[in-house]
Structure 1
Amino acid sequence: MSTASAYMTVRGIDVDVIYKDVKNLHIGVYPPMGRVRVAAPSRLDDDQVRLAIIQRLPWIKRQRQELQDAPRQSEREMVTGESHYVWGLRRRLKVVERPGRAHLEIDGERLVLYVSPDASPETRRKHLDQWYRQQLRATLPDLIAKWEAKLAVSVPRWTIRRMKTKWGSCNRETRHIWFNVELAKKHPDCLEYIAVHEMTHYFERNHTEKFIKLMDTHLPDWRGRRDELNGSPLAEEEWK
């Protein structure tokens, strides 16, 4: 069966399109972030597929909203024995209660939190969030510099923030790039994919054929990285 792929943005929604030898067009919305995937007959062109997506937008938006509203695993209690991910690796949390300034560190396969005995779970979660941001702030400068050189561009500003539905975003006019703090939990290849993806938007605003060709040229395995990232929960994926 012959197939071809496209990547388009419809009314602000990113859509993966696979053209294959099928009779009917099928639209699916997948967890955890509401990724939209279309299987379209090979006889259709991009404009026809785009029109079909627009006609189904109310349904697509309802499905995405249901996924975003779905109950997630309860917030971590931040106690010894819980599992948390750091750069794609699962680490057991060890909480050491002691006076003084709170901080986290990696000790072998453990993630150790030194914290005041009276610190609440919310306070402990805030310390962990800050630590994840520190991990990204330590990693991103070299990564961005690497791709600034490869793409012959400059990233004047980048920010780490918590986002509910995106791993990253880019303002093409100001060239400001945002990275989801959750990326510190994922494999470093996923962070690099997001960096290259957002920087490629400097050249092409939407996910057009030109955008895909640029990604194919500069990061040939980007689809595998994207699938690995999109196959991961956006948040609260740790378990006891």
Structure 2
Amino acid sequence: MFGWGEAGKRHPLNSVHQPGERPSREQTARRNAPHGRSARPAQVVEIEGYSVTLLRKPIRNAYLRIKGPDGHLEISAPLKMPSAEIAALVSRRRAWIEMWRARYNSNLLEGKSIDTRHWSDERKKAAREVLDERLARLLPHWTLIIGKRPTAIRYRLMSSRWGSCTINTGIIRLNLVLGELDEDLTELIIVHEMTHLWVSGHGKEFRERMQAYLPDWQERRHRLDEHQLF
């Protein structure tokens, strides 16, 4: 997952989330959790003054997401995690929660929040045509520089990521919303995801490659962060 500026922000409460098309830590935890225990129905509860949708699942760690334009909180927690422990985790993340809620409100006022739920066929078609035209120019250029080429590039509307790369298949997915943003931001995502054809994570090697490919990539990243998806 391209983890920058994505609405439905996901923040692991007691582990580090690495975005990407590859399985998330929550998905991996669910797969590795003891079998025979099923998830419980979602509950809306109040935790530390917040209205929270609480999902009890057979996972090992707790995860917090900020979802939708109103910044609603959703927590996935282990089946037997005590309520007091969940409350303590939310309390520790209060500054993070308030920061993202403030960003949501600011972006709504400035018209930078993008609702991906109700796109017409015409709007989708227009975005695809823009991306097709951009990729026709950008993909050959960056294939020569990066030294790898995706096996396929697919478009889809996504509410929580700008792009993704499945390394073992070489398939890259781009958010259709990019067709409505500046071309240099589309280029940023293309380079980011193509870099994942070499590097799976976002560590030192990934950052060094991005810096070599796009010296202004962090400035572009900050501009992309101004747009919130939901």
TM-score (norm 1): 0.52
1:142 is paired with a residue of what secondary structure?
helix
Aligned to 1:145: 140
Check whether the contact 1:32–1:230 (CA below 8 A) recurs between aligned residues.
no
Deviation per CA, 1:7-57: give whole Å up to 9, x if none. xxxxx895x9xxxxxxxxxxxxx87341769xxxxxxxxxxx959xx9xx6
The CA deviation at 1:140 is 1.1
Where does the alignment leave 5 or more consecutive residues of structure 1 unmatched?
1-11, 17-29, 38-48, 73-89, 91-121, 236-240
The CA deviation at 1:187 is 1.0
What is the percentage of aligned positions where both structures have the same residue? 26
The one-letter code of the counterpart of 2:124 is D
Aligned to 2:37: none
The CA deviation at 1:193 is 0.5
The one-letter code of the counterpart of 2:154 is T
The one-letter code of the counterpart of 1:32 is A
Aligned to 1:220: 215
Question: Partners in 2 of 1:198 and 1:68 — Cα distance?
Answer: 25
Check whether the contact 2:2–2:164 (CA below 8 A) recurs between aligned residues.
no
Question: Partners in 1 of 2:181 and 2:144 — Cα distance?
Answer: 24
Aligned to 1:6: none
Aligned to 2:9: 34
Structure with more helix by fraction = 2
The one-letter code of the counterpart of 2:194 is M
Question: Partners in 2 of 1:182 and 1:196 — Cα distance?
Answer: 17
Aligned to 1:230: 225
Aligned to 2:196: 201
The one-letter code of the counterpart of 1:67 is K
The CA deviation at 1:153 is 1.4
Deviation per CA, 1:85-120: give whole Å up to 9, x if none. xxxxx9xxxxxxxxxxxxxxxxxxxxxxxxxxxxxx
Which of 1 and 2 has higher RCO (CA within 8 Å, sep 6+)? 2
Aligned to 1:159: 154
Question: Partners in 1 of 2:2 and 2:131 — Cα distance?
Answer: 26
Question: Partners in 2 of 1:152 and 1:68 — Cα distance?
Answer: 38
2:175 to 173, 180, 184: 180
The one-letter code of the counterpart of 1:141 is A
Structure with more strand by fraction = 1
Check whether the contact 2:165–2:171 (CA below 8 A) recurs between aligned residues.
yes
The CA deviation at 1:156 is 1.9
Question: Partners in 1 of 2:165 and 2:202 — Cα distance?
Answer: 13
The CA deviation at 1:144 is 1.1
The CA deviation at 1:155 is 2.0
RMSD, aligned CA: 3.7
The CA deviation at 1:68 is 3.6
Check whether the contact 1:144–1:155 (CA below 8 A) recurs between aligned residues.
no
**Cα 1:185–1:70 shift into 2, 3 Å:** same
The CA deviation at 1:137 is 1.3
Aligned to 2:80: none
Where does structure 1 differ by over 4 angstroms across 4 or more consecutive aligned residues?
Answer: none
Check whether the contact 1:168–1:194 (CA below 8 A) recurs between aligned residues.
yes
Aligned to 2:165: 170
The CA deviation at 1:227 is 1.2
- 1:114-133 to structure 2, matched below 5 A, reads 125-133=120-128
